[in-house]
């Protein structure tokens, strides 16, 4: 059962927030869908936007202005939450970069965190719900995200080229196995076996990628406080040559890590998805 | 002394939030300025955006997307807060529609609320600060706002056609003396003498307006829960014929009172201001 929590008209379309009981995560989850006006005549392709640390499904829908371009392109936006909520696991609310709001889009293997399965939630459960929505053509999907959600978009997109026709990211954690955010999350959720971490590392995935060619668009601000120590998009870009992946890494002069930055370049990411979805 | 609290680049310009000690209000106040790229070469005109009940200076700058069009038009956005803060007057935090976050852009006359002087703050103190900012040409200003801030924009704009070259509003409280929000605020801040209320009522001001001609743009959603009982823009529109004021009242089908609505039509309000500022 999916319950609509609220709805508001925007740019001729509708922003609708839903709540449902997740079997995969064992808790209630929220997500938001933006329906462009075009979905009134036929099902539209979708673009998933995965959000970053501390965020919910509402950050991108209230702060990025993504609906303007999505309405123009006739693409629905799917905004999931960033972790399970309300499980009351000891320590799940102690840090802003681990536990609630910090699911890292993986399937945890450590017993304590076994309900943290955002990876399965995003690729299986959420699509199974969305395919019941007749306005959406979820067989035509692209993926993008910000920071931790950029990591999610890159890793999920690279592991499932069948499900996602294009990939882009804002300020992604591009090589999590080598940075503090990633190491904290992966050791907590996956344990000490670092070999198991590589399946969720975008740079490692690019190195082994054998799918159809993918041109990944990445925007990062040069004044992003996390650029050097947590994001490392240059490491990802350097891994691409010789693989079917090409990375269009754009260093945006003077921008930071915020939604002010995202809002400035969101149109390009919607267009990047639209181009792939329309040609597929 | 004005202290910069934070700054972020957006759409090629800069969003900067400031804090200062207000002599008029007797407390620290924050405000935000968006500087368009054009201000790097010469001072730019400004558009004040007055926010609604419960808001601060940050709602419009994080949720409306106003910076995109303002960058394009070369107009700075001035976003003030909506009331004094931290005065600790008994009862100032009991209601969301009176006291903190609900200054109603007037000068209170009741002794208990004598520091609630947002009217003087907006027309005198804030401009006196802004005129020190060499990027801004505050002699060229327009005004807009939302809900309580729409009331503020209409009343202040109509009382000071010398200071504001154009006026527009989203979902304004257009006839506050006749609705619950206005009656509660005006009786609290101004006392029982209803004659004194009329100076802060946009409809009453239109009836007596003798300034230069003004074409006021007003957008309101037809699904705005407050339309009938609190906003009454139709009453304002009906007062205009025969005066130098004309009201372009646009009832936007299906939209509500939220920033989703504002973001959809914000470009038109920036353009409305730009047209007046460029021809003056």
Q: pLDDT tens digits for B76-101?
A: 999 999 999 999 999 999 999 999 99
Q: pLDDT tens digits for B24-67?
A: 999 999 999 999 999 999 999 999 999 999 999 999 999 999 99
Judge whether A265 is closer than 8 Å to chain B, CB to CB.
Answer: no
Element (H, E) at B120: helix B118-120
DSSP per-residue letters across A48-105: EEE--TT--THHHHHHS-HHHHHHHHT-EEEEE-SS--S---TTTTS-SSSBTTB-TT
ipTM of the complex: 0.95
- For residues A15 and B260, the answer to whether their CB atoms sit within 8 Å is yes
- For residues B22 and B52, the answer to whether their CB atoms sit within 8 Å is no
Query: Which residues of A are less than 8 Å from B221 in CB distance?
Result: 9
* B264 contacts A11? CB cut-off 8 A: yes
Q: β-strands A13-22, A27-35: how paired?
A: antiparallel
Q: What is the pLDDT of residue A94?
A: 94
Q: What is the pLDDT of residue B280?
A: 63
Comparing CB atoms, the residue among B10, B221, B256 nearest residue A263 is B10
Reported pTM: 0.96
Length reported for chain B: 280
Element (H, E) at B152: helix B148-159
**Res B118 pLDDT > 80:** yes
Active site residue A224: yes
Sole residue written with tokens 């490491």: A235
| Token pair for B187 | 């009786």
Better-scored residue on pLDDT, A92 or A279: A92
Q: Where are the alpha helices (DSSP H) in A65-213?
A: 66-73, 118-120, 126-130, 148-159, 180-190, 202-207
Sole residue written with tokens 């690729």: A123
pLDDT classification of B1: cutoffs 50, 70, 90: confident
Active site residue B257: yes
Q: pLDDT tens digits for A69-124?
A: 999 999 999 999 999 999 999 999 999 999 999 999 999 999 999 999 999 999 99
Query: Which residues of B are less than 8 Å from A65 in CB distance?
Result: 65, 68, 263
Comparing CB atoms, the residue among B11, B63, B255 nearest residue A9 is B255
Q: What is the pLDDT of residue A279?
A: 78
* B68 contacts A65? CB cut-off 8 A: yes
Q: What is the distance between the alpha carbons of residues A19 and A28, in angstroms, rounded to a whole number?
A: 7
CA angle A12, A15, A20 (to 5 degrees): 155
* A256 contacts B8? CB cut-off 8 A: yes
Q: Which residues pair with B227 in a beta bridge?
A: none
């Amino acid at each position: 059962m999916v319950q609509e929590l609220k709805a508001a008209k925007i740019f001729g379309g509708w922003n609708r927030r839903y709540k449902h009981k997740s079997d995969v995560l064992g808790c209630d989850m929220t997500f938001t869908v933006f329906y462009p006006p075009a979905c009134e005549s036929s099902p539209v392709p979708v673009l998933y936007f995965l959000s970053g640390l501390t965020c919910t499904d509402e950050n991108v829908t209230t702060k990025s202005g993504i609906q303007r371009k999505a309405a123009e392109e006739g693409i629905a936006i799917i905004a999931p939450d960033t972790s399970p909520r309300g499980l009351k696991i000891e320590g799940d609310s102690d840090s802003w970069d681990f536990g609630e709001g910090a699911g890292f889009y993986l399937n945890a293997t450590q017993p304590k965190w076994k309900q943290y399965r955002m990876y399965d939630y995003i690729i299986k459960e959420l699509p199974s719900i969305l395919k019941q929505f007749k306005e959406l053509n979820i067989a035509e999907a692209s993926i993008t995200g910000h920071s931790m959600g950029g990591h999610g978009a890159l890793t999920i997109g690279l592991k499932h080229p069948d499900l996602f026709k294009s990939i882009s990211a804002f300020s992604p954690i591009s090589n999590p196995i080598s940075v503090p955010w990633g190491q904290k999350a992966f050791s907590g959720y996956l344990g000490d076996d670092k070999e198991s971490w590589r399946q969720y590392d975008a740079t490692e995935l690019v190195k082994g990628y054998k799918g159809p060619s993918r041109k990944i668009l990445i925007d990062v601000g040069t004044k992003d406080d996390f650029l050097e120590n947590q994001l490392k998009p240059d490491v990802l870009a350097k891994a691409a040559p010789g693989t079917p992946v090409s990375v269009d890494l754009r260093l945006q002069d003077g921008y930071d890590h915020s939604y002010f930055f995202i809002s400035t370049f969101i149109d390009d990411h919607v267009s990047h998805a639209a181009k792939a979805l329309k040609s597929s």
